[in-house]
């Protein structure tokens, strides 16, 4: 009988954890998503409702649009800041990256409250800009407000990724291209961008999947006013229209959407990686 390597013993806690807190809950949600809320019988109606009823189609469309917009802002802003950070001295770069890691440690409720203090209807910035510059007050409790708020997370997250990518860029490739007569535009188009693309897509995948499931900050700022998919799930699982089977079906569709998005981005990333 073939002996099991001793190293596999250390995998037991991981297997137990995955089984109890991932696979078992997921299997329960899947089973419940095919259950009728009134009779408890087997049904596919919960999934049919998602793609035929406006109250579910609108949150789905809103989520795709919102996640895409947040990802574009975060990706562009984070890449630009990452480039600037990569050109700083080591001590200054470490300080900036340390500060940029703070947003990832903050509670969504704390962030929402902070933005209310600064950009709420009577927030500090809103009052000052309106009083001294005559600018209209910024509406924090809107799509634009959510976009600005989530940029507080996404730009630092993308910066941390892209700063590492820029630092690992082989400068000899750039020098070789310049020695061969390539101008700045050609160096970026044919050397830098292809080399950075896999790392860029890694950052994009992290930001995009997070925004597809945006919940805490959006709920704290706007309640249920902004119709997002995760908020719709919360509504069905906690409010007067309590319908766990329908909420389970929405959750499964959200999981499938995120997994599919990760699969596509990972496939593109592998295709863009240079052959070794």
Per-residue pLDDT, 200: 93
Name the DSSP letter for residue 37: T
Q: Span 155-170, mean pLDDT?
A: 91
**Which CATH number does the domain housing residue 214 bear?**
1.10.3720.10
Least-confidence region, from 2-11, 79-88, 151-160, 191-200: 2-11
Residue 256, pLDDT > 90, answer: yes
The answer to the question of residue 233 being in a domain is yes
Question: For residue range 51-82, what is the model confidence (pLDDT) as tens digits?
Answer: 999 999 999 999 999 999 999 999 999 999 99
The answer to the question of residue 150 being in a domain is yes
The answer to the question of residue 26 being in a domain is no
Residue 274, pLDDT > 80, answer: no
Answer yes or no: are the C-beta atoms of 202 and 161 closer than 8 Å.
yes
Residue 183 main-chain phi, psi, to 5 deg? -85, 180
**Residue 205 or 175, more confident:** 205
Answer yes or no: are the C-beta atoms of 46 and 246 closer than 8 Å.
yes
**Residue 28 or 10, more confident:** 28
Find tokens 């993308």 and name the residue: 158
The answer to the question of residue 79 being in a domain is yes
Q: Is residue 42 classed as helix, strand or coil in its secondary structure?
A: strand
The answer to the question of residue 111 being in a domain is yes
The answer to the question of residue 97 being in a domain is yes
Distance CA 249, CA 191 (A): 45
Per-residue pLDDT, 172: 84
121 vs 118, 130, 137, 152, 178, CA distance in Å? Answer: 9, 11, 7, 19, 52
Q: Across all residues in the chain, what is the average pLDDT?
A: 89
Residue 272, pLDDT > 80, answer: no
Structural domain boundaries, residue 195: 53-272
Name the DSSP letter for residue 122: T
Helices 54-86 and 193-212: angle between axes, nearest 10 degrees: 140
pTM of the model: 0.87
Find tokens 């903050």 and name the residue: 106
Counting the structural domains of the chain, the total is 1
List 35's β-bridge partners, or say none. 42
């Amino acid at each position: 009988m073939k002996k099991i390597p001793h190293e596999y013993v250390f995998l037991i806690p991981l297997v137990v954890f995955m089984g109890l807190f991932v696979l078992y809950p997921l299997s329960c949600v899947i089973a419940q998503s095919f259950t009728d809320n009134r009779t408890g019988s087997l049904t596919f109606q919960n999934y049919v409702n998602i793609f035929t009823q406006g109250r579910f189609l609108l949150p789905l469309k809103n989520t795709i649009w919102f996640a895409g917009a947040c990802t574009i802002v975060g990706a562009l802003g984070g890449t630009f800041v990452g480039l600037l950070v990569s050109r700083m001295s080591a001590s200054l770069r470490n300080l900036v990256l340390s500060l940029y890691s703070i947003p990832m440690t903050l509670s969504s409720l704390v962030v929402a409250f902070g933005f209310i203090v600064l950009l709420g209807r009577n927030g500090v910035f809103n009052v000052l800009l309106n009083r001294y510059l005559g600018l209209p007050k910024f509406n924090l409790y809107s799509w634009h407000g959510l976009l600005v708020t989530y940029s507080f997370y996404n730009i630092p997250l993308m910066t941390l990724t892209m700063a590492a990518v820029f630092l690992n860029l082989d400068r000899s490739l750039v020098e070789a291209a310049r020695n061969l007569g390539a101008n700045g535009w050609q160096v970026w188009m044919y050397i830098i961008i292809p080399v950075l693309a896999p790392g860029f897509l890694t950052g994009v995948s992290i930001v995009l999947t997070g925004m597809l499931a945006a919940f805490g900050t959006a709920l704290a700022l706007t309640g249920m006013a902004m119709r997002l998919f995760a908020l719709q799930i919360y509504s069905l699982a906690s409010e007067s229209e309590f319908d766990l089977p329908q909420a389970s079906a929405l959750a499964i569709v959200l999981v499938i959407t995120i997994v599919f998005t990760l699969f596509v981005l990972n496939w593109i990333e592998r295709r863009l990686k240079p052959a070794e």
